[in-house]
Amino acid sequence: MSERQKHGFEYEKKCFKKNPHWISNSDEYTAKWDAYDTIEEKPVSIKCIKLGSSVEFGDIFRMTSIKEDWILQVGFWSKKKNNIVEEYTIPIDVGEWKKLIGNIKVFHAAKREMAKITNEYKDDNKWKKFRTKYKKLWGDSILQPRFKRDHGNQKRLQCAIMYNNLLEHFVKREKKVDISHGVEADLTKDEFETIIKVLELSSDNGSKLPKALIKKVKKLHNDLKDVD
């Protein structure tokens, strides 16, 4: 087992301890995933990644063939691999996932063309042109291609989601802020800014809105920016 795999398993153990309703990949079904959430009744993919790095998913065709809602559990570490500084549990709707994946015909075309390239040194230039061609054809899919080939037996097409795309499409959407008395509101930074402007305008027009309320909302807005 590599050091990277060992570290990944250590993070998985922490996730299972934190979520006792998750079961590990001990049977045929969950082996396709890292875990299964018995409450949400959804499979779980667990990732532990260096802060700012892309989230690697392995085989692209496995990711494009998902036919159910699932959960992405990702922890980002900084400086030390056991120092998790950002952690997200993201429920992913399969319909939204398919939209973000984009045109999978391009992926299959790449697979067919890749089959015609050998692992021999004489095909190195052909492989280089192949990679350049499909990086341009990839479009706006959230899945970034990872072309893997060596001069032995490895030749496959993997994928990843860039850190910024993960935040933009999943994390910010799921971010919730406790605004008052333990009540959660699903608000973005832009929505907070709009609320602040409305409160300030009401106060300027003679409304009896307490200044403490405006101050509190501003603080929450700043807290949200700090998290981002």
Sequence-separated (6 or more) residues with CB below 8 Å from residue 114: 130, 147, 155, 157
* pLDDT of 183: 39
- C-alpha 41/C-alpha 49 separation (Å) is 25
42-50 and 55-59 beta bridge pairing: unpaired
Mean pLDDT per block of 10 residues along the chain (228 residues) reads: 60 93 70 89 95 93 94 94 92 94 91 96 97 89 92 94 92 53 49 64 56 64 55
Widest pairwise Cα distance in the chain: 79
Residue 124: partners with Cβ closer than 8 Å, 6 or more residues away: none
Asked if residue 49 lies in contact with residue 74, where contact means CB atoms within 8 angstroms, the answer is yes
Residue 32 is predicted with a pLDDT of 77
Angle (CA) 194-196-202 rounded to 5° is: 105
Residue-level pLDDT at 7: 55
Map tokens 């970034």 to a residue: 144
Could you tell me the pTM of the whole model? 0.70
What was the pLDDT predicted at 179? Answer: 37
